[in-house]
Amino acid sequence: MTLLGRATGCDGAKLAFAPDVNDKVAAADAFSRKLRLMVDGYIAAQGIAAPKPSAEEIA
C-alpha cells in the first residue's frame, strides 16, 4: 500500500496531495505508542490478566 497523504485538490485527472504525509504518519505512530503505554499502565494498575501483544500486532 502506498500512502499519498491528504488530497488538497483536483485538476482534471490529476490529484494534488499535501506534502506532509511522513509527518502525519510519524505523529500517528507516536500517538499509537503513547496510547499503548497508557493502556498497558491501566491494565497493570488494575491487575488485569491480559496477554502481551505479538510483534506483528504492535508493528
Helix, strand, or coil (residue 49): coil
Number of domains the chain is built from: 1
Any domain includes 9 = no
pTM: 0.73
Distance CA 39, CA 26 (A): 20
CA nearest neighbour of 3 among 20, 14, 13 = 20
Any domain includes 6 = no
Give tens-digit pLDDT for 9-58. 999 999 999 999 999 999 999 999 999 999 999 999 999 999 988 888 88
Task: Please name the amino acid found at residue 42.
Answer: Y
CA nearest neighbour of 14 among 3, 4, 23, 26 = 4
CA nearest neighbour of 38 among 16, 56, 9, 30 = 30
- The parent domain of residue 41 ranges over 20-48
